[in-house]
Structure 1
Amino acid sequence: MAASTSLYPRATVKRIVKAHSNRGISKNADIMVFLDYTLFLQQLLREAAIQAKLNGERGISPQAIRKVRETALQKFKG
Structure 2
Amino acid sequence: MAPSQAYPRGTVKRIVKAHTKRPLSKNADIMIFLDYTLFMQDLIREASIRSKQSGEKGISATAIKKVRETSLRKFKG
TM-score by length of 2: 0.94
The 5-angstrom pairing of residues 32-47 of structure 1 reads 32-47=31-46
Deviation readout 1:9-53 (Å, 9 max, x if unpaired): 000000111111110000000000000000000000000000000
- Under a length normalisation based on structure 1, what TM-score does the superposition of the two structures give? 0.93
Hey, which bits of structure 1, 4+ residues long, moved more than 4 A? none
Aligned length: 77
Give the deviation of 1:5 after TM superposition: 2.2
The Cα of 1:6 is off from its aligned counterpart by 1.2
Aligned alpha-carbon RMSD (Å): 1.2
1:42-77 CA-partner distances (Å, limit 9, x unpaired) = 000000000000000011011000000010001000
Aligned residues: percent identity?
68
Structure 2: gaps spanning 5 or more residues: none
